[in-house]
Amino acid sequence: MVTASGYPSRVLTRLGVSFDAGSSLGSAVERARLADHLGYDSIWASQLPPARETPLVLATYAGATEKIGLGTAVMPIYTRHPTAMAQMALTIDEIAGGRFRLGIGVSHQVTVESMWGLKLAHPVEAMREYAGIVRALITTGSANADGEHFSAHAAYLAPRRPDLPILISALSPRMLELAGEIADGVSLWMCAPDYIRDHVVPRVRAGREKAGKPLEGFEIEAAVPVCLTTARAEGLAVFRQTAERYASLPFYRKVLDKTFPDMSDSPNDRILSALAGIGDLDEIRSTIERYRQAGTTLPVIGPFGGHEGAAGFKGTLEARAA
């Protein structure tokens, strides 16, 4: 069953995958082909400051695959005017034959202000204005808005899919509620199942109720780091480096502190195990199921290795699809 938002209703077998293009774009394309062949729901990528232009990478995947969906987990809004964001999304969707999903987010103060020299102020209000312009161009082909943060008087005359899904990357209660109110889904990273159950779902539901819409059909897309490995201790050590990096960012730290009373700058094994599936196939499947039971409609696995004993990307995808 497909809902009005363009997503299937809650089907527990759906599973996405995320990966960076890495050092070889050709190898990344082969990964995309493998995920498509194995029947994964979608490929997700975020725009990271030092990395390739993610929309161009996804357009490359679109030309190399047939059925798999393609999505941006997070495209930062401050480096791309909403009219340009809509143009990008509609163009990739046309290239992909209607397989694209647009995820947008505000990023972080250290990135927006220190790296880009811009100002991150009133993020919820800014996101409302930004998403409104993007939505107008996607659904009607024109936008006329004068806001405090973003304005646009523009048209899009090329082919477009009016129901192209828009997701908002959200962590805080206000941004989660906004996502429920105005978006088709929410994109999550470093959100453990307990946080999704206790904070994400209630705030999203409140936003849906505010807009007079049901929760059914709203996508809760959550990244789930996984490592199929025979050396669990080494896998935990590799993931600890990632968790420490994100624990240093205020937005993520607030979420982690709410979820784990014993959270520290170097998360312990119990916290790492709550966030990621590390170990044998049963451990990975159990972790994915915990995310689903908490309210996630689309778990998106991010396979990682980095140590002896890890099955690697191909081995992990093939084992999960078996």
Enter the tokens of residue 239: 């993931």
Q: What is the mean pLDDT of residues 1-9?
A: 38
Query: How far from chain centre, in Å, is Cα 17?
Result: 10
Residue 1 within any structural domain of the chain: no
Give residue 322's pLDDT: 64
Q: How far, CA to CA in Å, does 106 sit from each of 75, 78, 85, 153?
A: 8, 7, 13, 22
* Digit-coded pLDDT (tens) for 192-231: 999 999 999 999 999 999 999 999 999 999 999 999 999 9
Identify the bridge partners of residue 8 per DSSP, sorted by sequence position. Answer: 2
Residue 4 within any structural domain of the chain: no
Q: What is the pTM of this model?
A: 0.93
Does the structure show a pLDDT above 50 at 1? Answer: no
Enter the tokens of residue 254: 């607030």
Residue 263 within any structural domain of the chain: yes
Segments of 183-297 assigned E as strands:
185-188, 219-228, 277-279
Identify the bridge partners of residue 160 per DSSP, sorted by sequence position. Answer: none
Give residue 3's pLDDT: 38
Domain containing residue 115: 16-321
For the chain, what is the domain count? 1
Write the CB contacts of 198 (distance below 8 Å, at least 6 apart in sequence).
Answer: none
Residue 28 within any structural domain of the chain: yes
Give residue 117's pLDDT: 87
Give residue 271's pLDDT: 97
CATH of the domain at 152: 3.20.20.30
Residue 9 within any structural domain of the chain: no
Residue 10 within any structural domain of the chain: no
Does the structure show a pLDDT above 50 at 124? Answer: yes
Does the structure show a pLDDT above 70 at 85? Answer: yes
Does the structure show a pLDDT above 60 at 2? Answer: no
Phi/psi zone of residue 118: left (φ > 0), alpha (ψ -120 to 50 degrees), beta? Answer: beta
